[in-house]
Amino acid sequence: MSDISMITFNNVEKYYGDFHALKKINLDIKKGEKVVLIGPSGSGKSTLIRTINGLEEINDGQLLVDGYDLASDKTDINKIRKNVGMVFQHFNLYDNKSTLENIMLAPRIVLKRPENENHKIAMELLDKVGLADKAANMPNELSGGQKQRVAIARSLAMQPKALLFDEPTSALDPEMIGDVLDVMKDIAQDSDMTMLVVTHEMNFAKQVSDRVIFMADGEVLEDSKTEEFFKNPKTKRAQQFLSQVEHH
């Protein structure tokens, strides 16, 4: 972890029509930091994480990603997306492409990576997520857990500076969750990539993250070191939330 900021929110506000989805968000995530974002359903976690790669626009305040101001007209959002990967709850693999092509497509057309190098990197990544034998399969021939591991490999192939995860295991059958979390743990341990993970997996949070952010009703209520958060949640909302998820 370094002292340089990767993602900075300054008084960010986001509305859906009249609905106030993000309220005066202030956050600073350093390069290489592993952060877990938790909170009850509907608290704005997805909204927050999706503003970082511009899938949602902010209405007020300032959002800096890798030094670029997302609200500025001068910022090319595609440049930021090149450097910030995202893994979705429902995978969003390209249904018309094989596993291997899912991984190779963006590096080929966005990064212009030479074909043999592209192929080599893609196969290494598939191997890393344990799916080298599924290179030729189409997404609809994979299980949910396999799809998510391909989706992670696809994000990694862009060699991003930051990787966002929005509930990557929430749509999976329980027996598939472990494999995906293992892949994520490996990434967290091996790389200096910034990671921001929305999850309900508290054990993963405890093992992997440097820091936990707790949100409720569109606000950041807590932002503390992981150990401190789990030992000593400051707000009533966080205490309630923890007792609920830990009794599951």
Partner 1 sequence: MITIAGLFTFDNFRYLFIGLMYTLSVSMISTIFSFIIGSIFGIIVYEKIPYFSKFVSISVDIIRNLPLLLIIFFVYFALPKIGIHFSIFWSSVVAFTFFEATMISEIVRSGINAVDIGQFEGARANGMNNIQTMIFVVLPQAYKKMIPPLVSQFISLVKDTSLATGIVLPELMYRGQIIYGQNSNYMVPVFVILAIIYFLVNFGLSRLSKIIERKMA
- Tokens in use for 81? 């997306």
CA distance 238 to 150: 33
Interface with partner 1 (CB under 8 A), residue from 15, 94, 217, 230:
94
Helices (DSSP H) in 110-157: which residue ranges? Answer: 115-128, 144-157
Cα-Cα-Cα-Cα torsion 11, 16, 21, 22, nearest 10 degrees, comes to -10
Q: Are 23 and 219 in contact (CB under 8 A)?
A: yes
Cα–Cα distances in angstroms (integers) from residue 220 to residues 115, 174, 236, in the given order: 44, 29, 13
User: Residue 64 touches which of ligand ADP, partner 1, Mg ion, none (CB < 5 to 8 A by kind)?
Assistant: none
DSSP β-bridge partners for residue 29: 7
Binding to Mg ion (CB under 5 A): which residues in 21-60?
Answer: 46
> Whose Cβ is closer to partner 1: residue 111's or residue 136's?
111
Q: How far is CA 112 from CA 24, 65, 78, 97, in A?
A: 39, 23, 15, 18
Binder among 47, 155, 209, 226 for ligand ADP (CB under 6 A): 47
CA–CA distance, 35 with 156 (Å, rounded to integer): 18
- Which listed residue (3, 18, 73, 95) binds partner 1 by CB under 8 A? 95
Binding mask 173-192 for Mg ion (x = CB under 5 A): --------------------
21 binds, among Mg ion, ligand ADP, partner 1, none (CB under 5 to 8 A by kind): ligand ADP
21 near ligand ADP, judged by CB under 6 A: yes
43 binds, among partner 1, ligand ADP, Mg ion, none (CB under 5 to 8 A by kind): ligand ADP
Nearest distance from C-beta of residue 240 to partner 1, angstroms: 32
Question: 160 to each of 82, 141, 234, 242, how far by Cα in Å?
Answer: 7, 27, 34, 32
Binding partner at 134 among partner 1, ligand ADP, Mg ion, none, C-beta below 5 to 8 Å by kind:
none
Cβ distance 194 to 86 under 8 Å? no
Our finding on whether 41 is near ligand ADP (CB under 6 A) is yes
**CB 18, min distance to ligand ADP, A:** 10
Contacting positions for ligand ADP (CB under 6 A): 16, 19, 21, 39, 41-47
Contacting positions for partner 1 (CB under 8 A): 53-55, 78, 81-82, 84-86, 88, 90-97, 105-106, 109-111, 151, 154-155, 158
Contacting positions for Mg ion (CB under 5 A): 46
